[in-house]
């Protein structure tokens, strides 16, 4: 896609998300102060919903370095987010270092089962960043009874106009060492009600 079309897509995408945000009724609980440095842990299926909820928050978001990721990064920048390009499969080490660096000034948001799944699988980078940056993880539980669910690997959810969305933020989960990972993952899955995917 030529540069001009990317710019048009970024503006149009941001405008649509702002419009959807205004037509959604929000119930939010436990959201920390804006200057609280942490990693917001959300499943890929809730990416659009949480993008809507946290507009103009200044959160740094990990976005795939692929061409598809460019379609996401453009609107995010227009919506007041910072973006770091990379994933567990592309530019992983570089993205990890950049996320740790940017965490000194901004909260982070990561979809640990992205960019390609499988849904509900946690790639370990989120725990590595939390330990290296010495910041906690806050999980997000999202309920949206009236939504369109796309036929994609993640089952991306799009709230229907004027529907209600409930977002609950967990308590901070701290990791002091790798020995804490299993317990934090268990707590996150219990909070978000997302079980581990079946092993192949």
Output the pLDDT for position 115. 84
| Side-chain-facing half-sphere of 163: CA atoms under 13 Å | 15
Could you give the strand order of the β-sheet that contains 108-110, starting from the edge strand earlier in sequence?
25-29, 164-169, 137-143, 39-41, 108-110, 60-63, 82-85
Asked if residue 173 lies in contact with residue 184, where contact means CB atoms within 8 angstroms, the answer is yes
Condensed to tens digits (0 to 9), the pLDDT of residues 140-199 reads 999 999 999 999 999 999 999 999 999 999 999 999 999 999 999 999 999 999 999 877
Output the pLDDT for position 87. 66
pTM of the model as a whole: 0.93
Whether residue 199 is contained in a domain is answered as: no
Whether residue 167 is contained in a domain is answered as: yes
What is the extent of the structural domain holding 34? 3-192
Distances (CA, A) of 126 to 136, 164, 173, 199: 10, 29, 12, 20
Neighbours of 17 (CB within 10 A): 18
Distances (CA, A) of 137 to 11, 121, 140, 194: 31, 16, 10, 16
Whether residue 81 is contained in a domain is answered as: yes
Whether residue 197 is contained in a domain is answered as: no
Output the pLDDT for position 127. 97
Which residue is listed with tokens 């959300």? 42
Asked if residue 100 lies in contact with residue 129, where contact means CB atoms within 8 angstroms, the answer is yes
Q: How many domains does the chain have?
A: 1
Condensed to tens digits (0 to 9), the pLDDT of residues 77-108 reads 999 999 998 765 556 688 889 999 999 999 99
| Cβ-based burial of 96 (10 A; exposed 0-12, middle 13-18, buried ≥19) | buried
- Closest to 172 (Cα-Cα) out of 57, 28, 30, 27: 30
Whether residue 200 is contained in a domain is answered as: no
How much is the average pLDDT of 115-131?
93
Condensed to tens digits (0 to 9), the pLDDT of residues 36-48 reads 999 999 999 999 9
Asked if residue 135 lies in contact with residue 39, where contact means CB atoms within 8 angstroms, the answer is yes
Whether residue 198 is contained in a domain is answered as: no
Whether residue 21 is contained in a domain is answered as: yes
Asked if residue 193 lies in contact with residue 143, where contact means CB atoms within 8 angstroms, the answer is no
> 38 by DSSP, 3-state: which?
coil
Asked whether the predicted pLDDT for residue 67 surpasses 80, the reply is no
């Amino acid at each position: 896609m030529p540069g001009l079309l990317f710019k048009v897509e970024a503006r149009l995408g941001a405008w649509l998300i702002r419009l959807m945000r205004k037509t959604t009724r929000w119930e939010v609980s436990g959201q920390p102060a804006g200057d609280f440095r942490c990693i917001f842990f959300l499943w890929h299926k809730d990416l659009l919903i949480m993008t809507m909820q946290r507009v103009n928050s200044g959160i740094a978001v990990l976005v795939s370095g692929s061409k598809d990721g460019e379609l996401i990064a453009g609107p995010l920048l227009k919506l007041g987010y910072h973006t770091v390009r990379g994933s567990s499969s592309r530019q992983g080490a570089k993205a990890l270092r950049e996320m740790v660096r940017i965490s000194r000034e901004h909260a982070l948001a990561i979809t640990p089962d992205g960019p390609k799944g499988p849904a509900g699988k946690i790639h370990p980078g989120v725990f590595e960043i939390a330990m290296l940056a010495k910041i906690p993880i806050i999980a997000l539980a999202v309920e949206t009874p009236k939504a369109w669910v796309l036929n994609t690997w993640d089952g991306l959810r799009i709230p229907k106009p004027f529907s209600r969305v409930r977002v609950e933020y967990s308590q901070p989960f701290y990791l002091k060492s790798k020995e804490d990972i299993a317990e934090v993952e268990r707590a996150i899955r219990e909070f978000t009600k997302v079980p581990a995917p079946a092993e192949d």
